[in-house]
Amino acid sequence: MSKKILILPLFLLLVGAADMMAQKWEVQPFIGYRFSNSVDVDAIEHEGLFFDQIKIADGMAYGVSVGYFLTPKVSAEFAWSSQSSDLRATTVGGVEYGAGDMTVHNFHGNILYHFGDPDSAIRPYILGGLGATVYSPDAPNANGKTKFSTNWGGGVKINAGKHMGIRLQGRWIPTYVGSEDYIVWDPYWGPWVLSDAKYQHQFEVSAGLNLRF
């Protein structure tokens, strides 16, 4: 009888520990919408027209993230998202033309900080991370480009049970696309060559399932 009394608490403790360990992984498939800004470029001539701005058209995006809780409040995740869109080019006079299909992939490693207790029904969080943006044009003889990017944002996780919930999120994704040199004249030191960094900004809002294991 005494052995049974001793074994039962140990069994319950092991089950509880296994259940806690099972909640450390999260997988989130999501769908959303992505907005992008226009990027100024040096004037490009094509068929008698001069273009000085390019833009990825706004559109639907989708992806998945996989995360692991390092502490009850901090988790690390890898996130991938993709947008099938098209490239737009704007002339010096402000007329916009389609320039071909473009798929944009984002790959980021993120750190998330959560507010509230792990078992809270609603749990806000903030995130930040580093990674890359891949531009893949769908055109013959067109080469894709991979550029350094970061992402910053936050959202809320709405728990519907131990293993499932909903995740709502917003992200800002600035991508470094290059630099433009320009000259500044100083009366004493003379000309200085400075560099102006250019970024393509993506703003993504999404919703998806949040599966916990």
Long-range own/partner contacts, residues 74-77 (CB < 8 A, 24 or more apart): 74/111, 74/112, 74/113, 74/114, 75/26, 75/111, 75/112, 75/114, 76/109, 76/110, 76/111, 76/112, 77/26, 77/109, 77/110, 77/112, 77/127, 77/129
When mean pLDDT is compared across 22-31, 106-115, 177-186, the lowest value belongs to 177-186
Q: 24: closest CA among 64, 66, 65, 81? A: 66
The answer to whether 89 and 51 are in contact (CB under 8 A) is yes
Q: What is the pLDDT of residue 17?
A: 46
Per-residue pLDDT tens over the stretch 89-120:
777 666 676 778 889 999 999 999 999 998 89
Does 147 score more than 50 pLDDT? yes
- Tokens read off for 42: 């040096």
Q: How many CB atoms lie within 10 A of CB 169?
A: 21
pLDDT at 70 over 90: yes
For residues 63 and 92, the model is more confident at: 63
- Global pTM? 0.77
178: its two tokens: 């290059």
